Structure formats: structure tokens, C-alpha cells
């Protein structure tokens, strides 16, 4: 497998945690995201990869009560290597997460049902746009005076059917670390779990800021 220097550097940003530590981290983060309102009603979640494996939560379980043994292990092509300990199904987000792993060499991918994200998709049409907020600097490569755009794709009846349009949105928006899904939520990634979480917190803050500006009659730029 030939990799570029840039890819190698990105690889070096991956987690150095043991498989068990990654499982515990995913549970801890899911609990945290639940408290932030990103994972209520069994929605949302996070997937983390190391050099050779991708760790992913099961579908339709209470994310704040996830146990380390519940986590699936996949290879870098997305094939299941290890089932969840309980009789559970892999997250329907799996094909979507794979696009960020493959196209962006992400180290972690996160899915949130935050109402801030959903409202953002209802206030904007083809893409969410905001500018002039210091919090933008939490997005790798962005400055406080840049404009941040996040593509919005339409929702589909089955989450797996989102994969093509999400993959296309990722390809067409090389500067974005996120794709919004209308009336649904947002997918966010980063080169490792810390950056994915930081990106997700910044985007959520930007979505909330746009709605508060709208409510208060403040121009969104």
C-alpha cells in the first residue's frame, strides 16, 4: 500500500490507545454526547480507528449506556471482524463513516442528531454558511475571518441510502469536515478522535449561533 507523506503524517495522528481503551473511550464519548443532546433516542455515535481497525457502535441502542463489549470491530475496508457481544446490529452509519475514513483518511467520525444541526438544515438550503466567529479557528485550517460552509444533503428513508450523496458531498467540498443531512443531523470527522470531537463542538456552536442570530435579528456574517 503506497501512501503519501501527508497520509503518513495523518496516520501518526491516530490514537495510540489499546483496543480495550478505544472501546472504553467510545463509551465515554457516547455518554458525553448524550449529555450534550447529540445522541438522545438512541441516535448519534462515534467511530474511531487505529492503524488497522475501525471501532464502531451498534445500531439502535441507548448510546449513554453503551458498554465496551458492545463495540464492533471492522477492517479498513469496512468488513466486520468482530461482532458486538450482545445480539446487536452494526450502526447503519457504517457506510457513511467509511466515506470519511477512505476519502479523508479520518481517524474518527462522529454522527450527531443535535437539534442545532437539524435547525441549521432548515434555515439554509444547499449549504450552511457562517463567518466572522472566533470559534471557527477550532476547525483545522480555518481563521476567524474566513467563511465556513457545510454542504447540506437531503435525507433518505434508509440511512444506508445516504452513502452515495454523502460521498459525493465529501468529494465536492474538500475544505469541509462535516456534511449536514436535512431534518436529520450532521456527520463530522477529524484526523483523530480529539480533532473530530473539537470539530463537532465547533460546528454545533456555529449552528447554534446562526439560529440565535436569526432569532435576535442579527445579520449572519
Choose the stretch contacting a copy of itself; rule: CB under 8 A; options: 17-25, 45-53, 79-87, 128-136.
128-136
| Chain-centre distance for alpha carbon 76 | 17
Tell which residue, 119, 112, 125, 78, has the closest CA to residue 97: 78
Residue in 40, 103, 129, 149 binding a copy of itself, rule: CB under 8 A: 40
Choose the stretch contacting a copy of itself; rule: CB under 8 A; options: 49-57, 70-78, 102-110, 177-185.
177-185
When the beta carbons of 4 and 215 are compared against a copy of itself, the nearer one is 215
Quote the least distance from Cβ 66 to a copy of itself, whole Å. Answer: 13
42 burial (CB, 10 Å; 0-12 / 13-18 / 19+) is middle
Tell which residue, 95, 200, 193, has the closest CA to residue 150: 200
Please list the helix, strand and coil fractions of the chain in percent, rounded to the nearest 5, in that order: 45, 20, 35
Tell which residue, 40, 216, 59, has the closest CA to residue 118: 40
- Is 119 near a copy of itself (CB under 8 A)? yes
Residue in 9, 123, 147, 164 binding a copy of itself, rule: CB under 8 A: 123
Binding site for a copy of itself (CB under 8 A): 40-43, 62, 113, 115, 118-119, 122-123, 132-135, 138, 143-145, 155-157, 181, 183-185, 194, 197-199, 201-202, 204-205, 208-209, 211-216, 218
Amino acid at each position: 500500500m503506497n501512501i503519501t507523506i501527508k497520509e503518513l503524517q495523518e496516520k501518526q495522528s491516530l490514537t495510540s490507545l489499546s483496543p480495550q481503551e478505544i472501546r472504553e473511550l467510545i463509551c465515554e464519548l457516547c455518554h458525553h454526547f448524550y449529555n450534550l443532546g447529540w445522541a438522545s433516542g438512541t441516535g448519534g455515535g462515534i467511530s474511531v480507528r487505529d492503524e488497522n481497525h475501525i471501532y464502531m457502535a451498534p445500531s439502535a441502542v441507548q448510546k449513554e449506556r453503551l458498554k465496551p463489549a458492545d463495540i464492533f470491530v471492522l477492517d479498513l475496508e469496512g468488513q466486520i471482524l468482530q461482532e458486538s457481544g450482545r445480539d446487536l446490529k452494526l450502526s447503519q452509519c457504517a457506510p457513511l463513516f467509511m466515506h470519511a475514513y477512505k476519502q479523508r483518511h479520518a481517524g474518527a467520525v462522529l454522527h450527531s442528531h443535535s437539534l442545532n444541526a437539524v435547525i441549521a438544515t432548515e434555515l439554509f438550503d444547499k449549504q450552511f454558511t457562517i463567518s466572522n466567529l472566533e470559534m471557527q479557528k477550532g476547525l483545522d485550517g480555518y481563521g476567524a475571518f474566513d467563511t465556513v460552509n457545510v454542504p447540506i444533503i437531503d435525507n433518505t428513508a434508509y440511512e444506508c441510502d445516504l452513502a452515495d450523496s454523502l460521498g459525493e458531498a465529501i468529494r465536492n467540498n474538500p475544505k469541509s469536515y462535516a456534511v449536514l443531512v436535512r431534518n436529520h443531523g450532521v456527520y463530522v470527522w477529524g484526523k483523530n478522535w480529539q480533532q473530530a470531537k473539537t470539530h463537532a463542538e465547533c460546528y454545533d456552536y456555529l449552528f447554534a449561533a446562526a439560529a440565535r442570530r436569526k432569532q435576535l435579528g442579527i445579520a449572519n456574517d
